[in-house]
Amino acid sequence: MELEEELVSGLPKGAEDGWIRRRTEYPTALLMLCIFSLSLCLAGLRLELSNQEYPFAEASCAVRSGLTAAALLVVVFISRIELNAFI
């Protein structure tokens, strides 16, 4: 019965003793999630107020292509040139 309770609760034994609080990755991950979510919400509000469908909707094709290429380069360098880093 104890195993079933552990599986249903989603936390291993000892969680009530501070198992979660000792993990230093959680606060940092939560902070990054909050920053990322807030920036997306602000970008969505800005686009809604300006009646644009997507960022740079009124920019020329060259500008949009250049920004797309720059974003692709950032992703490649962040992934340390591993082609399957996000798969």
Per-residue model confidence (pLDDT) at position 66: 94
What's the distance, Cα to Cα, between the start and end of the chain in Å?
A: 38
Residue 21 in this model has a pLDDT that exceeds 60: no
- Residues 6+ away with beta carbon under 8 Å from 53: 47
Domains in the chain: boundaries:
1-54, 56-87
pLDDT tens-digit map of 55-76: 788 889 999 999 999 999 888 7
Specify the pTM. 0.48
Per-residue model confidence (pLDDT) at position 36: 92
For the chain, the average pLDDT equals 77
Per-residue model confidence (pLDDT) at position 62: 92
Determine how many CB atoms are found less than 10 A away from the CB of residue 14: 9
The maximal CA–CA distance of the chain, rounded, in angstroms, is 64
